[in-house]
Structures are given as structure tokens and as C-alpha cells.
Structure 1
Amino acid sequence: MRRVVPAVLVGVGVFLLVAAALLKFYAYPALAVAPIDQDSVTNLSAEDAIIFETDPNFLREVVTDLSVVNTTRGDVEASQEASDEEGEEVRVWAGTQTITSDDGAIRSQSRDRAAFDAHTGEAVDCCGGFSESEEDVRVEVQREGLIYKFPFGTEKETYDWWDNTAATTVPAEFVEETDIDGLTVYKFESVVPAGVVGTREVPGVIVDEPDEENVEADVSYANKRTFWVEPVTGAIIDRTEEQRSILEIDGEERAITTEANLSYTDEQVLENVEEYESKASLLGMVNGLFPLVALILGLVLIGLGLFLGRRDTGGSAHAGGRSVTPRKDVSKV
């Protein structure tokens, strides 16, 4: 029995070392991936936004509250095929954005489809990525940078964020570490400077050209995004956008088509905190606490087992080599 105990301790210790390695290098990478079957709805709102009323009877700027609903769903089959082709975990998500004014009218609706690395959040050029800002008018898009989320294990550094409207990446710079309702988050800011992103044919009266029936105007767009990111999962807990889109003629502003300060609703932020607080805690323990505890305990048990084994071996050897004093033969005395 004394020889069995050291062997058991060493065996359990080795098991714990293997478990620590599996948790760190297998379980964590398997868990730190974006869901393949994503199905979510994100709500944003903007108060006193300026939009352009395009009804033929009302060609004017209108102040209204906006409600924005983003629906995102994962394409499981496309994700599996892309993962096999790319040799890494790829996710293909499709989204729909619907913007509604406070009178219940749908002001715009757009769709998109994009592929990205399930671990890093970086765009992957595959799977028929597109953007559709007008019904049934799809434009093929080759995206770069981050799309839907930040990477698992987000660092305090600058990331490239893809902007659909500008059709380019924009640096998202780390600002500070803070918290939302007790949940640690990293704050990032991304600024899209004002610039022409396209042209649009509009009635001349809209852009102060009453003598012209239709005029081709430049569309200028600017945006400032602020992200509050849970760093373990890379999930965006809160987000604001300061969007501004105008019509220009020869570089001169003629009409505002959109001016809105969008942000996640309070209910959306609360929902995000509740969801990702537990996910971040579990993922953090799988990546850090659990492997560390298993490693330390494994080393302690192995050391204890080896110590007990050597002590027992040493004790047995001493007993086996012990000298015995010969007994006197009293008959010869």
C-alpha cells in the first residue's frame, strides 16, 4: 500500500497536467469562436435626427426620432463549407437593417452578407459577400478588417474596422478601460472623415438649383463610432454613431440627407451585459484560472508522489542492509 500511494499521486498529477494543456490549447480555442448559427436582433435609436423627406410632395429636411433594428443570422451551411475550404473556422453572417421614423414609416432598409474569421473577427474574402442599400440591387463587396465584432482576447491597441458606406477600413483606436454596470469594457473610437462616397441624381430644387429639373450631386459622408467592447469575448456591449450625410455641388453643402446620433438602447445594453458577463467569466476561467490551478496542483501531486516514493525506497534499502550483531555462544564461556 505504501508503494501504491506515491504512484497514484504521480498518476493524478500527470492527469492534471494533461488536463491543463487540453483546457488551454484545445478547450479554449474550441470555445473562443463566434457562433455558427447566430440569430440576434440589435436595437439602436436616435432622437431629433435629421433625414430628408423624399415624398414627391415633401422635398425637405425633417426632424424625427429614429429606431434602427439590425437582424443578424448565420448561414450554417456556408460557414461549414468556407471553414473546410479555408482550413480555419469561418463564419458567414447575413444582416438586415431597418430604419423607422417615429411616425412608423420605414425610411430605409438594407441587407448585407459577409464572411469573417471566427476567432479574430477579421473579414474573409469568400462566400459571396455583398451589400444591398436599394432593393434587389446587390453590390459585391470585398471587405477587410473587423466587421461584426472584435477578436476574442481584445487588446488595448488599434484595430481596423470596416465601414460599409465609405467602403474602406477605418482605425478603431483604444481610448480607455472602463466598465458598464460592473462589466469591464475597453472603449474604442473610430472616425470616418467627411468625404465623397458617390453621386446621386436629385431634383434641382433639393440642392438650390431650381432652374434644373435634375442635378447630379455628390454624396458626402462622415461618421464617428464609439465602441465599448468586452475584451474576453470581443463582444460589443454598447455602441454609438454620429452619422452625417449631405448632398454637395462643387464642394458646397446643399442639403442634409442624414444627421443622427445613434446608440444602443438602454434595454439593449442591459441585455448585452447580462449575456456576456457570464460568457466572459467562463471563457476567462477556461483560458486562465482552470489551467493554472490544474497545472499547480498537478506539479504538487507529482512532487509529493516522487518524494514519498523515494522515502519508501530509501527506508527499505536501509533495512535490508542493516548489520546484525552475532549472538554469543554461552556454551563456550
Structure 2
Amino acid sequence: MRVIVGRVLLGLGAFLLVAGILGVAWAPGAVKKTPVEVDQKTDLTGTAERLDTSTGETRELEVKYTSITKSDTEASDDDTVYFKQATCLVEVDGETPDCVSDDDDRLISAGEETFATDRKTAMGVDGSELPDDVEPFEGLVNKWPFDAEKKDYEIYDNVIDEPVTARFERTDEINGLEVYIYTTETDRAPIDLGSDIDGLYTDRKEYSVDPRTGSIIKQAADQQRFLADGTQVLSLQMEYTDEEIDDNVIDAKDNIASIDLLTKTVPLVGFIGGALCVLAGIALILTGRRTKTQAGHTA
């Protein structure tokens, strides 16, 4: 009986040791990748000062910004994930939907983009292998990489269609979650204000990033747009809603727990439990054989 139990423990020990090895060698590369199934809605609210072109006066208004990002799961593969993103910035006036039609005076800006990112680095893919309908982006796009570092990164700005430097500033804490703070600054970059009107763009953003998963927990923006002659047409300040931030923290903590389970708990249990099972199995097999031998001599 001891020999049978010993063999069972040997088998269990071998299984746990293999699980531990997989947890160390395979799990980090497998779980620390952007998922190919993403359907995310992001909400920001704030205030703005907007030039009324009909009167030449500036109006103060409340605004909201909505971004809907969905992955193209069928087009994505082990290395690359494809996204479709729709954004809309509108003036809040009564019951205002997330976006309005082009002929609605409440619309400030709207756009749609299709892009691809590397599932490990979170960097935009800008190679020639992209399909014709996918825009080449440079730098980070919609998240930071897993295990983000306290260093500067390049992140894509879709207003000027080029990357800007996100400088690491400090660490902070949001609802018990440690975050890294990065900031970007753009000063009077040339842009198209719409209808082929030349303009200038000044912007400062602050990103609060969970370094473990690379997810953006909070974002705040302070943006100004000018006509070429320096006349200001828009001053905009907005940030994630409190509800958005709370949801992001919960998601980040859940994802961290899943990563730790596969990359820390499983290897720990595998190596320690596997070693103990193997040693116990060998001991039972040896003592079982000695018992049989002694019984044979007695007979």
C-alpha cells in the first residue's frame, strides 16, 4: 500500500513541478499581452471656452468626451491586436448623448481611427504589412506596456498625427493602487482646425498608469487651439470621470491578481508542493519495499 501511495505522490509531485516551471518560463509571456477581445468605453468630462464664430465672442460651456475602442478579434493574432476607435467631444446642453450629428451645434470634434499595436510592447504598428484601412501609428497608443518603468515613453497624439514624449514625473496612489504619473506637453503645433483652416495646438496631458498592467487609470488634459493669427478658438480642460477611475482601479486590481496567481502563486505551490510530494513518495516507496523484504525474511 505504501508503494502505491508513494507512486501517486511521485506523479503528483512531477505534475506540480511541471506547473511551477510553466509558471516561471511560460506564464509571464502568455499573460502579459494585450487581449484580443477588447470592448471599452472611456468617459471624460470638463469645461471649455469656445469661440462663437457668428458673434466673435467666447462662450463658457460644459463638455464631455467619449472614446469607444473595440478590437478586431478575427484580424488580430499572437503578436498584433487591431483596434477600431471612435471619439467624440460635445457640448453638454441638457440631455446630451455621447455624440451628435455633424450638423448639431453641440459637436466640437469627432473622429474614427483604425490602428494596430504590438501585444507585448503596446507600441503602435507602422510597418508596410498593415492592411490599407489601418493607419500606421508610432509610439504607445491606448496603454502602457506591462511592467512599465520609471522612464520616458513616446505616445501617439492623434491631433497632430505624431508621437510626443511622455515624461515620467512621480509615483502616486489612487484608491489603494500605486500609479506612475507621466506628462506630455505640446506647444503651438500646426494643425487643421477643420474645413482646411490652419491652426495651432497647445496641449498638456497627465496620465496615471498602473505599472503592473500598463492600463491608464486616470487621464487629465489641458488643451488650447488657436487660429494661425493667434486668436484662441478653444480652451479645454477635462479628465476621467470618478466612476471611470473607480472602474479602472477595480479592473487593474483584478488583472494584477490574475497575473500574480499564474506567475507567482502557481510556481511557488508547484516547486514547494512538488518537491514535498516527490520526497514523500520516494520515502513511502523505500519504506514499503523494506517492509515487504522484512516480511519475507520473517516468513
**Structure 2 counterpart of 1:89, one-letter code:** D
1:154 equivalent to 2:148? Answer: yes
Instruction: Give, in whole Å, the separation in 2 of the partners of 1:167 and 1:108.
Output: 15
**For 1:78, what is the secondary structure of its paired residue?**
coil
**Structure 2 counterpart of 1:156, one-letter code:** K
**Structure 1 counterpart of 2:111, one-letter code:** S
Moved more, 310-319 or 256-265: 310-319
1:99 equivalent to 2:96? Answer: no
**Structure 1 counterpart of 2:190, one-letter code:** V
**Structure-2 residue corresponding to 1:53:** 52
- Please report how far the alpha carbon of residue 310 of structure 1 lies from its aligned counterpart in structure 2 after TM superposition: 5.0
Residue 64 of structure 1: which of 61, 66, 71 is its match?
61
**Structure 1 counterpart of 2:212, one-letter code:** V
Q: 1:165-190: per-residue Cα shift (whole Å, max 9, x none)?
A: 23222222333333211223222222
**For 1:169, what is the secondary structure of its paired residue?**
strand
**Structure 2 counterpart of 1:230, one-letter code:** D
The 1:317/1:195 distance shift into structure 2, 3 A limit, reads farther
**For 1:178, what is the secondary structure of its paired residue?**
strand
Equivalenced residues, count = 284
The structure with the larger Rg is 1
**Structure-1 residue corresponding to 2:190:** 197
**Structure-1 residue corresponding to 2:158:** 164
**CA RMSD, Structure 1 to Structure 2 (Å):** 3.0
Instruction: Give, in whole Å, the separation in 1 of the partners of 2:199 and 2:227.
Output: 5
**For 2:145, what is the secondary structure of its paired residue?**
coil
Report % sequence identity: 27
Gaps of 5+ in 2: 97-105
Instruction: Give, in whole Å, the separation in 2 of the partners of 1:306 and 1:186.
Output: 49
Between 1 and 2, higher relative CO (CA 8 Å, sep ≥ 6) is seen in: 2
**Structure 1 counterpart of 2:178, one-letter code:** T
Instruction: Give, in whole Å, the separation in 1 of the partners of 2:136 and 2:42.
Output: 24
The 1:267/1:13 distance shift into structure 2, 3 A limit, reads same
**Structure-2 residue corresponding to 1:264:** 240
**Structure 2 counterpart of 1:101, one-letter code:** E
Instruction: Give, in whole Å, the separation in 2 of the partners of 1:201 and 1:114.
Output: 22
TM-score (norm 2): 0.82
The 1:172/1:313 distance shift into structure 2, 3 A limit, reads farther
Q: 1:31-54: per-residue Cα shift (whole Å, max 9, x none)?
A: 43333232221110112x122334
Q: Contact 1:50–1:256 at 8 Å: present in 2 too?
A: no
- Please report how far the alpha carbon of residue 146 of structure 1 lies from its aligned counterpart in structure 2 after TM superposition: 0.8
1:18 equivalent to 2:29? Answer: no
Instruction: Give, in whole Å, the separation in 1 of the partners of 2:3 and 2:211.
Output: 48
TM-score (norm 1): 0.74
The 1:274/1:7 distance shift into structure 2, 3 A limit, reads same
Instruction: Give, in whole Å, the separation in 2 of the partners of 1:225 and 1:196.
Output: 15
Instruction: Give, in whole Å, the separation in 1 of the partners of 2:13 and 2:284.
Output: 14
- Please report how far the alpha carbon of residue 291 of structure 1 lies from its aligned counterpart in structure 2 after TM superposition: 1.9
Moved more, 257-266 or 59-68: 59-68
Gaps of 5+ in 1: 131-140, 203-215, 322-333
